[in-house]
């Protein structure tokens, strides 16, 4: 029941939001994707195993929906109530826009080691993905990437900034 | 009689017999084939400049009468070998004085950094051994060095080698000489002539670099600023594996330093991280999330075989090889918080190694196998610690700032790491017990993630003879 209410609410919000939603962020990412392998030093044959295919980006509904970030506790990747509420909204928006594909970015605050934060960011993105998949979103529409502690929203070193940086973002592709 | 100066000390029992005065000092153990053990203190005498002497191939080795001896340093309580620098016997020519001084300064620095020696300013006559050196030239732009470690009691040489170097490579020459002395006296590879790989640059716009361990000879390896992380050397020091996001997605690349080609080694869906080259050079352990969450895998360098070693729904990451290649230590949060574990090559029954604290990550197994360095959160800060592979004894080695990326020197005597400590930030080395901390690199933006090469850097300083 609660879910239906959220769904209805989300749909209203999505309809009202119209084009005001967050735009996809193709410029830099597309550039990089287009040069896969070519931007590494020197030349080299790519003996890469199982390369991820580069999926063409279809703008379509991408401009019409807005997906919100979720946040995590320090050194955690479980979803709290706020995150679940937000994820349900995001899921509803994705249900409503079946051609939209997303990439979920997992991020950490700067504390701790860079290598472990990379894994932690991955788990945060995967936790969000698993929720969406359980909700009914096709897994083929979702890719994940961890940026670890490399892309903070707020680079200052205090509790407030750290809380902002421990997040998953939903990047419309 | 002229002794040879080979990898081993050629001194035989004479060296043992020559050390009566140091019997009270537990300095180091001499272990000849006959298992004769003795204690010795060693002194390095002056590098004397003798102008215009040719230094080529003067000394036919007279090894027949020598017994090879390997010196073993006493385990943890390795006491310092006393060495001293005597005044040169001859006047130093003006045009050589600068080179001489520079060479001596770097050599002393290196010997001190090696952790084996105590430098004695004015060694007494009782010191049983001395290093006599001559520096000749320059002929053209080339200097010659004749380094001779002598037992001052018997007058016999226990290490002698000649070198030639360009005058602008005098620092490299000193490094090579220092490493040779370390090897001759301890049987261990020195670290003065080694290099490290590291990452520097703003977050998301970083590059991979290599630099000589003395901070000279910086080379940029990756050209496109990107997220770059966790370099790992091949054991022969010809290639570096690392993570880059240059394509937009994380992938493990391998760059060949000789021909500067780069191969994308691992680009599975999701995370490709934390490569660790196996000690035999044939495999790379890494972290992949292609099966749904971060797990530890081992992939052969030719890419043909791949094995998953961990199975747990949370985080398993950051593998590091035991030197025998039979086990990996890694980080896992299977108890709810990150701790260090070890697992064998079949992936069977991982065993837990760290128990203290609620955040232990980034293990680095020592090349001798006796310790694992790692990062631990202690009072909200991040410190470098060590633990034995059975988890019995832990030691906290750092206390200032936040410290990350522990990585071992090829001789297992030192730990390199990066420290965030305001104006004191940079890449540091310390002895394996945490003593002797010194910053070795602070240039560029936020230098981090150091990886110490297992092999000497190619030096254009050639021993002229053995």
Q: Residue B221: helix, strand or coil by DSSP?
A: coil
Domains of chain B: 9-190 (3.40.50), 194-456 (2.120.10.30)
Instruction: Give the residue from B230, B231, B239, B264 with the most A CB atoms within 10 Å of its CB, the best one to mutate.
Output: B264
Does the bond joining B138 to the residue before it have cis omega, within 30 degrees of 0? yes
Residues 6+ apart with CB under 8 A from A76: none
User: What are the CA-CA distances from residue B29 to residues B112, B186, B398 (Å)?
Assistant: 20, 10, 30
Residues B1/B65, Cβ–Cβ less than 8 Å: yes
Tokens read off for B51 = 């102008």
For chain A, domain boundaries: 2-15+64-172
pLDDT above 80: residue B300: yes
Residues 6+ apart with CB under 8 A from B235: B277, B278, B279, B280, B281, B454, B455
pLDDT at residue B143 in the model: 80
- pLDDT, tens digit, 9 for 90 and up, residues A53-93: 444 445 555 567 899 999 999 999 999 999 999 999 999 99
Q: Residue B190: helix, strand or coil by DSSP?
A: coil
- pLDDT, tens digit, 9 for 90 and up, residues B341-358: 999 999 988 999 999 999
ipTM: 0.79
Burial of residue A27 (CB within 10 Å: 0-12, 13-18, 19+) is: exposed
Tokens read off for B95 = 């045009």
Q: Which residues of A touch B267 (CB under 8 A)?
A: 48-52
A171 at the B interface (CB within 8 A)? no
B10 vs B205 pLDDT, higher one: B205
d(CA A59, CA A43): 33
Q: Which residues of B touch A150 (CB under 8 A)?
A: 203-204, 227
- The residue behind tokens 């996001």 is B245
pLDDT at residue B139 in the model: 67
Residue A96: other Cβ atoms inside 10 A: 16
d(CA B48, CA B57): 19
d(CA B8, CA B11): 9
SS3 content of chain B, % helix, strand, coil (to 5): 10, 40, 45
pLDDT at residue B228 in the model: 97
B204 vs A45 pLDDT, higher one: B204
- The residue behind tokens 């000193």 is B174
Q: Which residues of A touch B294 (CB under 8 A)?
A: 119, 122-123
Q: Which of B204, B362, B382 sits opposite A150 (nearest CB)?
A: B204
A20 vs B404 pLDDT, higher one: B404
Distance from CA of A74 to the nearest CA of B (A): 11
pLDDT at residue B452 in the model: 96
Query: What is the topology classification, in CATH, of domain A2-15+64-172?
Result: 60s Ribosomal Protein L30; Chain: A; (3.30.1330)
Q: DSSP readout, B109-163?
A: HHHHHTTSEEEESS--TT--EEEEEEEEEEETTEEEEEEEEEETTT--EEEEEEE
Please state the rounded mean pLDDT for residues A139-159. Answer: 96
H helices within chain A, ranges in order?
2-17, 26-34, 81-96, 114-135, 159-165
- Smallest CA-to-CA distance from B260 within B230, B211, B228, B222 is with B222
pLDDT at residue B334 in the model: 95
A78 at the B interface (CB within 8 A)? no
Q: DSSP readout, B315-359?
A: -EEEEEE-TTSSEEEEEE-TTSS-EEEEEETT--S-EE---SSS-
Considering chain B, what percentage of its residues have pLDDT values greater than 90? 53
pLDDT at residue B66 in the model: 36
Q: Note whether A47 contacts B265, CB cutoff 8 Å.
A: yes
Q: How many CB pairs below 8 A link A and B?
A: 158
- Smallest CA-to-CA distance from B242 within B290, B276, B270 is with B276
Tokens read off for B346 = 């079949």
d(CA B444, CA B452): 18
Residues 6+ apart with CB under 8 A from B98: none
- Smallest CA-to-CA distance from B145 within B170, B112, B117, B120 is with B170
- pLDDT, tens digit, 9 for 90 and up, residues B146-158: 787 777 777 777 7
A95 at the B interface (CB within 8 A)? no
Query: HSE of B331 in the Cβ direction (CA atoms, 13 Å)?
Result: 30
pLDDT interval class at B124 (50, 70, 90): low
The pTM (predicted TM-score) of the whole model is 0.77
Tokens read off for B454 = 């297992």
Q: Which residue of B has its CA nearest to A121?
A: B271
Q: Which residues of B touch A25 (CB under 8 A)?
A: none
Tokens read off for B204 = 């998301």
């Amino acid at each position: 029941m609660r879910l239906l209410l959220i769904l209805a609410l989300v749909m209203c919000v999505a309809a009202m939001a119209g084009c005001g939603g967050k735009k996809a962020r193709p410029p830099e990412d597309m550039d990089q994707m287009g040069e896969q392998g070519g931007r590494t030093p020197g030349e080299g044959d790519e003996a890469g195993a199982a390369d991820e295919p580069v999926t063409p980006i279809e703008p379509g509904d991408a401009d019409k929906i807005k997906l919100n970030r979720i946040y995590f506790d320090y050194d955690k990747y479980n979803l709290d109530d706020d995150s679940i509420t937000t994820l349900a909204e995001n899921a509803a928006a994705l249900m409503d826009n079946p051609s939209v594909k997303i990439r979920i970015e997992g991020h950490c605050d700067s504390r701790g080691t860079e290598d472990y934060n990379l894994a932690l960011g991955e788990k945060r993105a995967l936790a969000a993905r698993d929720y969406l998949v359980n909700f009914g979103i096709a897994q083929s529409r979702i890719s994940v990437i961890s940026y670890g502690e490399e892309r903070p929203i707020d680079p200052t070193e205090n509790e407030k900034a750290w809380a902002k940086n421990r997040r998953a973002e939903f990047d419309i592709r | 009689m002229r002794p040879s100066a080979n990898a081993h000390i050629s001194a035989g029992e004479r060296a043992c017999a020559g050390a009566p005065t140091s019997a009270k000092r537990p300095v180091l153990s001499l272990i000849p084939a006959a298992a004769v053990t003795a204690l010795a203190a060693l002194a390095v005498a002056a590098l004397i400049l003798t102008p215009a002497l040719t230094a080529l191939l003067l000394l036919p080795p007279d090894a027949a009468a020598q017994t090879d001896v390997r010196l073993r340093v006493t385990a943890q309580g390795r006491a310092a070998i006393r060495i001293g620098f005597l005044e040169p016997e001859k006047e130093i020519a003006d045009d050589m004085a600068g080179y001489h001084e520079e060479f001596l300064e770097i050599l002393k620095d290196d010997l001190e950094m090696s952790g084996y020696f105590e430098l004695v300013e004015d060694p007494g006559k009782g010191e049983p051994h001395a290093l006599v050196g001559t520096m000749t030239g320059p002929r053209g732009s080339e200097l010659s060095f004749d380094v001779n470690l002598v037992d001052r009691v018997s007058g016999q040489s226990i290490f002698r080698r000649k070198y030639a170097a360009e005058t602008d490579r005098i620092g490299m020459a000193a490094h090579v000489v220092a490493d040779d002395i370390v090897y001759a006296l301890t049987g261990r590879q020195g670290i003065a002539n080694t290099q490290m790989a590291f990452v520097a640059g703003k977050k998301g716009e970083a590059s991979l670099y290599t630099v000589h361990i003395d901070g000279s000879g910086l080379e940029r390896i990756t050209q496109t600023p990107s997220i770059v992380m966790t370099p790992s050397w091949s054991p022969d020091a010809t290639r570096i594996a690392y993570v880059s996001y240059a394509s937009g997605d994380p992938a493990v690349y391998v760059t060949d330093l000789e021909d500067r080609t780069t191969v994308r080694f691992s680009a599975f869906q999701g995370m490709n991280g934390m490569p660790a080259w196996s000690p035999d050079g044939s495999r790379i352990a890494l972290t992949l999330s292609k099966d749904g969450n971060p797990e530890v895998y081992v992939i052969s360098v030719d890419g043909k075989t791949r094995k998953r070693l961990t199975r747990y729904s949370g985080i398993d990451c950051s593998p590091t090889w035991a030197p025998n290649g039979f086990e990996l230590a890694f980080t896992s949060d299977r108890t709810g918080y990150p701790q260090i574990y070890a697992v064998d090559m079949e992936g069977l029954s991982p065993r837990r190694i760290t128990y203290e604290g609620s955040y232990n990550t980034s293990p680095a197994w020592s090349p001798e196998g006796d310790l694992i360095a790692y990062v631990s959160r202690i009072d909200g800060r991040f410190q470098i610690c060590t633990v034995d592979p059975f988890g019995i004894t832990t030691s906290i080695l750092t206390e200032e700032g936040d410290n990350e990326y522990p990585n071992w020197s090829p001789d297992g005597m030192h730990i390199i790491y990066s420290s965030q400590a305001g104006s004191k930030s940079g890449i540091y080395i310390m002895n394996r017990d945490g003593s002797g901390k010194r910053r070795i690199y602070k240039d560029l933006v936020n230098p981090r993630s150091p990886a110490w090469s297992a092999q000497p850097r190619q030096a254009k300083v050639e021993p002229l003879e053995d």
